[in-house]
Structure 1
Amino acid sequence: MITRRGFLKGSGLALFGVGLMGGIPGFLAEAAARDKRLMLYKGKRVLVCIFQRGAMDGLMAVTPFSDTWLQAARPGLSLPAVAGGRGSSLIDLDGRWGLHPGLKAFEPLFREGRLGIVHGIGSPNNTRSHFDAQDYMESGTPFNKGTASGWLNRAVGLLGHDTLTPFTAVSLTPALPRSFYGEHPTVAISNLQDFAIQLKGNPAGANVAAKSFEELYDQTSPGLLHNAGKESFEAMKLLQQADLRNYVPANGAVYPNSPLGNSLRQIAQLIKMDVGLEVAFTESNGWDTHFNQGTDNGIFARNVADLSNSIAAFWRDLDANQDYVTVMTMTEFGRTVHQNGTGGTDHGRGSCNFILGNNVAGGKVYGNVPELAMENLEDGRDLPVTTDFRSVFSAVADAHLRISDDKVLFPDWVGSKAGVMKVG
């Protein structure tokens, strides 16, 4: 059974099967109508996290193209590098690193100093299980399988607010991701137009079914709703008034018609509506490239093109909101240095991630990636993990969301923050 306090603390307001186009329940709309529009949330800083599920091949996304050992290990997967990146060539970033041609939408952001790349990033836990590695990364505790909360849920708890709207932390996914598990208010929304929100503020309430929002509302007392109600009603009112179906992205931004493109488009809408969004999450699937990985064409090329085009469209669409937003990607691990016998790569260790924002110290590839000779590889096969993912995640959370309590955010970690963000 879900408790009244557990409902409010764990999930704020949660709607089940309420069609947005059909309107919000009458009692809720009436309550919202009595409130004056609040602008308490305008200009909130927003962290957008994108999980690339399946383990992205960081060595193909951002290639140390002058490394002859890598060329020998991947005779069927190597691309040449050319300044400016023409056709099927890597885009030469700095004389050592080449961006996959499918990521060409990232080049201007990198040149402008807004996009930073961290290479050799990963988990200190050497599991090659997708499920376990994703779980460890999302919980933020790589050696503790029993952690109940996710690191982004803990981040919500460290934001320092007395009250939160239902949209403080939103995942544009069909189900709540592991990153959002915990006692603080988070919701998963598969589609803003359908407004189907899954209640899972904490694991204990995961399987609670409610016939209607009124049923849940009736279980609470006016006293418990006194602090949260006004902000919640106002956020609902803003969402109800928005013409989501006819939304036109700013600056001619064109999103790919893909799950990731559609999710980022909706995150942009939430940001512009000022409903209190501060932590957003979505995902990109299909990165498990065991066979027929391809080079400038194929599954990998399609995935990176969708990733970069979706993020670039999102950034363009944000317009004046860019100063308040940072985007960060993550993936559970990388791929083997050597290609396999089916034209693909197997589960590896280190990969890379992308961080985009005006307060990112961009235009640089960070990390310590050694020459990929056999003796430098982890277990004789993998790019070693030289940057703990927590050093990057904590640096971004600190600089962008002003969260500095690493003992709560990453309780088992004692490292230092990566220097990927601007100081001050």
Structure 2
Amino acid sequence: MDCCESQASPATSRRALLLGGASFAAWAYLPKFARAADGRDPRLIVVILRGALDGLATVAPTGDPDYAGLHGSIALSSDGPHAAMMLDSFFALHPAMPEFARMYREKHAAVIHAVATPYRDRSHFDGQDVLESGFAGPGRVQSGWLNRALEVLPKGERVMSGLAIGPTAPLVLRGAAPTVGWTPVALPQADDDTAMRLVDLYHHRDPALASALSQGLRLDKTAQGDDMRPKPGTNNAGAMRLVARGAAKL
């Protein structure tokens, strides 16, 4: 189990990558207004691809007469052994994304093209910070737009905590609002008896730590399982799949 609760996350390396280049942030517990009468349990989940995603290679404007000539051998095509999946008469989806294509056809997914932050310089890391901070330019910032959104929810509708999946909370979820973090680890786990003894010990000596530990144990019990154990030689892609499975359980 590797879980922590924080009011303001510690600084982290700007170049730190999160298990294969992505990070997850979400509302851990729903605001009251989002608890739909029909029993739905909606969540806001933000996935940030730190290695970037080429939109023109993912959702390609194959209907543009200049597209194929400008992209040459990497251009998507609507025919051939690896044909792209047409979304409409103009845009096509990369063949590696059939599940997204299904969601798009069922109107459960959408593509928003040609959007960007105001940042126009050439630092990937500054651009990443602007994306997560929500400010117009780079600089030393201590909070992200998602954490600030948690803070301004009406008092009776606030969530208990934000949830970050990964070894550190991404900038988008750092700030004054409380957050919880979870990540799968390969170290041996403490047995249930040891964990409960620790909770009892901290309950008498440090109630805040006892509360954080109890919350972490609940999160870990929900997300973990034998299939969540990193195997020897697990690469970044494999680690990313483990994180995604754990995130889905939470």
TM-score range, shorter chain: 0.5 to 0.7
Which of residues 109, 115, 123 is equivalent to 1:115?
109
Give me the CA root mean square deviation. Answer: 4.0
Whole-Å Cα distance in 2 between the matches of residues 190 and 237 of structure 1? 12
Q: Is the 8 A contact 1:125 1:142 kept in 2?
A: yes
- 1:178 matched to 2:171? The reply is yes
Q: Is the 8 A contact 2:84 2:95 kept in 1?
A: yes
Whole-Å Cα distance in 1 between the matches of residues 6 and 50 of structure 2? 31
Cα displacement (A) at 1:155: 2.3
Cα displacement (A) at 1:45: 3.4
AA aligned to 2:50 is R
SS in 1 for 2:73: coil
Q: What residue is the counterpart of 2:184 in the other structure?
A: 191
AA aligned to 1:71 is A
Distance change (3 Å), C-alpha of 1:100 and 1:216: same
Note the alpha carbon deviations across 1:151-178, whole angstroms, 9 max, x for none: 121122234467865xx32222222211
Deviates more, 1:141-150 or 1:92-101: 141-150
Whole-Å Cα distance in 1 between the matches of residues 41 and 215 of structure 2? 14
Q: What residue is the counterpart of 1:134 in the other structure?
A: 128
Cα displacement (A) at 1:108: 0.9
Q: What residue is the counterpart of 1:125 in the other structure?
A: 119
Distance change (3 Å), C-alpha of 1:148 and 1:195: farther
Distance change (3 Å), C-alpha of 1:92 and 1:164: closer
TM-score by length of 2: 0.65
Cα displacement (A) at 1:194: 5.9
Q: What residue is the counterpart of 1:56 in the other structure?
A: 53
Q: Is the 8 A contact 1:150 1:180 kept in 2?
A: yes
Identity rate, percent: 25
AA aligned to 1:78 is A
Q: What residue is the counterpart of 2:248 in the other structure?
A: 268
Q: What residue is the counterpart of 1:155 in the other structure?
A: 149
Q: Is the 8 A contact 1:169 1:185 kept in 2?
A: yes
How many residue pairs get aligned? The number is: 203
Which of residues 238, 242, 247 is equivalent to 1:258?
238
Structure 1 portions without partners, runs of 5+: 1-6, 12-39, 197-211, 249-256, 271-424
SS in 1 for 2:100: helix
Q: What residue is the counterpart of 2:18 in the other structure?
A: none
Cα displacement (A) at 1:61: 0.6
SS in 1 for 2:114: strand
Cα displacement (A) at 1:64: 0.6
Q: Is the 8 A contact 2:78 2:84 kept in 1?
A: yes
AA aligned to 2:177 is H
TM-score by length of 1: 0.40
Q: What residue is the counterpart of 2:162 in the other structure?
A: 169
Matches within 5 A, 1:3-402: 9-10=7-8, 45-82=42-79, 87-160=81-154, 165=160, 168-191=161-184, 235-236=215-216, 238-239=218-219, 242=222, 244-246=224-226, 258-270=238-250
Cα displacement (A) at 1:10: 4.2
Whole-Å Cα distance in 1 between the matches of residues 72 and 57 of structure 2? 13
Note the alpha carbon deviations across 1:207-250, whole angstroms, 9 max, x for none: xxxxx989987886x6xx6xx987x68745644655831479xx
Q: Is the 8 A contact 1:173 1:188 kept in 2?
A: yes
Cα displacement (A) at 1:72: 2.1
AA aligned to 1:155 is A
Structure 2 portions without partners, runs of 5+: 10-31, 190-197, 229-236
SS in 2 for 1:115: coil
Cα displacement (A) at 1:81: 1.8
Distance change (3 Å), C-alpha of 1:8 and 1:217: farther
